[in-house]
Amino acid sequence: MRSRIVAAGLFLAGCIGPSLLGQSSHINPWEPVNLAPLPPIASLSGGVWMKGDLHVHSRHSKESSNNSIGKILSYSHSVGLDYICITDHDNHVLGDVEHHTWADPEFKSEDSLLLLYGAEWTTTRGHGNVFSAHPYDHQRLYDVRDQRDIVVGAVKKELGVHLSANHPSGKDHFGYSYDMVDSIEVWNSALWSKNANAIMIWDDMLSSGRKLTGRGGSDAHHGLPDTPEQATKNSPQAKYNYIGTPTTWVFAKERTRQSVVDALTNGRVSVSANPYAPRVEFYADLDQDGKMDMMMGDNTKATGKPVKFRVQLTGKAVLADATYTVKVVKDGNPYNTYTMTGRAAVAEFTDTPLEKGRTYYRVTVEGPSTPYPQVPDSMKLSEPMVGLSNPIYFNFDPNF
Ligand SMILES: [Zn+2]
Ligand SMILES: [Zn+2]
């Protein structure tokens, strides 16, 4: 009996031997392969930079105060925003945003300040913002909120809207699959430091192959009272967190609502601490001819040759004598840090993305904060962040 057991043991050892020695014939069907040709990169010059806020609550959200839509729009005009999305809580109106926020007589889009259609999808499993160039049937998304992700995702697809994961690591974090979202709120409110886990989740999703746009949103609920009698216990918030803290820049093909939503989906997006702060731009020169070929949000096939990357700060608020720190993240890990002065606010580096398999690069820029006199206490909370870019992507599968 004993000898038979020993023999069986020897036989088993013989069976598992080759795989222990790395001679397994197993082939992982998900190993990186050469991708089919990717769509060409869109023009780097045919477009317009537009800035806005993608997470703002008006009086149609029950816990907001002194924030009528008229007030939000006139304020946004006054600080030079190009677009805004008022995202009231849908649960306060049982999903019927169409007859509340959108039907408000003050809800009017203008060429100089485009007003997106949207709402904060407010569910048991957390919050997500919807962005759309057109009115859509939000009620359907509200009704499906407690169903399985696959059902929710199908409704979202049918509606043709952009869905974005809100404050992904905080209270009411987005608790659904990231397979059905187009963007993630990586910078919620002026308080930059609380976003560290949101950034970690973003990097995790990017590393797993999801081409997911990072965006900002102030989540402002409270405006300044017009009279002392209107003041609420939350009114002081307007001094440290209000519209534009932070500000999301999009490189839109043209000045239309659809172009703003498309730019958000495609990732030609960067986020700045406030509407006056410098804008971070991130480009790549694929053939080293000195001319940039792609920008943040763009995805191309890696050639195995070195690529030159350029980070630049743009805008009147760039301080000539200040030093800015550029931190490059590659595939979720710190890659390198560069410094630049405001006088020549450009940093360049060269790296070779893998010819097979995915690679992404994104940057954050730190430095002196830009005064935002209307929201004077926001600057301290945003420090040391100036802005962040979306990634430049190599070999990301559009059919992921
Ligand atoms: Zn929320
Ligand atoms: Zn909110």
Q: How far is the CA of 166 from the centre of ligand 1 (A)?
A: 6
Cβ neighbours, 10 Å, residue 272? 30
**Residue 289 and residue 287: Cα distance in Å, rounded?**
6
- Ligand 1 centre from 149 Cα, in Å? 19
C-alpha of residue 38 to centroid of ligand 1, in Å? 36
Which ligand gives the minimal distance to the CA of 126?
1
pLDDT at 305: 97
Express each pLDDT in 345-356 by its tens digit: 999 999 999 999
Res 23: pLDDT: 67
Task: Give the whole-angstrom CA distance, residue 360 versus residue 285.
Answer: 15
Q: What is the pLDDT of residue 33?
A: 80
Ligand 2 centroid to residue 370 C-alpha, Å: 25
Protein residues with C-beta less than 5 angstroms from the ion ligand 2: 120, 219
* pLDDT higher than threshold 50 for residue 286: yes
Q: Does residue 17 sit in helix, strand or coil?
A: helix
pLDDT in tens, 187-227: 999 999 999 999 999 999 999 999 999 999 999 999 999 99
Contacts by 316-321 with C-beta closer than 8 Å and gap 24+? 316/276, 317/276, 317/277, 317/278, 317/370, 318/278, 318/342, 318/345, 319/367, 319/368
> Which of 203, 192, 223 is CA-nearest to residue 69?
223
What is the arithmetic mean of pLDDT over 336-363?
97
Residues 225-265: pLDDT tens digits? 999 999 999 999 999 999 999 999 999 999 999 999 999 99
pLDDT value of position 5: 47
Whole-number Å distance, alpha carbon 219 to ligand 2 midpoint, is: 5
Report d(CA 179, CA 382) in Å as an integer. 30
**What is the chain's mean pLDDT, rounded?**
94
Pick left, alpha or beta for residue 160 (phi over 0 → left; psi -120 to 50 → alpha; otherwise beta): left
- Looking at the CA of 56, which ligand is closest? 2
pLDDT surpassing 90 at residue 51? yes
State in Å: Cα 56 to ligand 1 middle. Answer: 10
Residues 135, 98 contacting (CB under 8 angstroms): yes
Q: In whole angstroms, what is the distance from residue 189 CA to residue 246 CA?
A: 6
Does 17 have pLDDT greater than 90? no
* Residue 87 contacts residue 120 (beta carbons within 8 Å): yes
The Å distance, Cα 250 to ligand 1 centre, comes to 22
Ligand 2: centre distance to CA 258 (Å):
23
Q: Give the other-Cβ count within 10 Å of 338's Cβ.
A: 16
Give distance in angstroms: CA of 40 to centre of ligand 1. 36
Domains delineated in the chain: 50-394 (3.20.20.140)
DSSP annotation of 38 reads P
Closest listed residue to residue 270, CA positions, set 254, 298, 251, 245:
251
| Predicted pLDDT of residue 400 | 84
User: Whose atoms come closest to the Cα of 122: which ligand?
Assistant: 1
Q: How confident is the model at residue 108 (pLDDT cuts 50, 70, 90)?
A: very high
Proximal ligand: closest to the CA of 165: 1
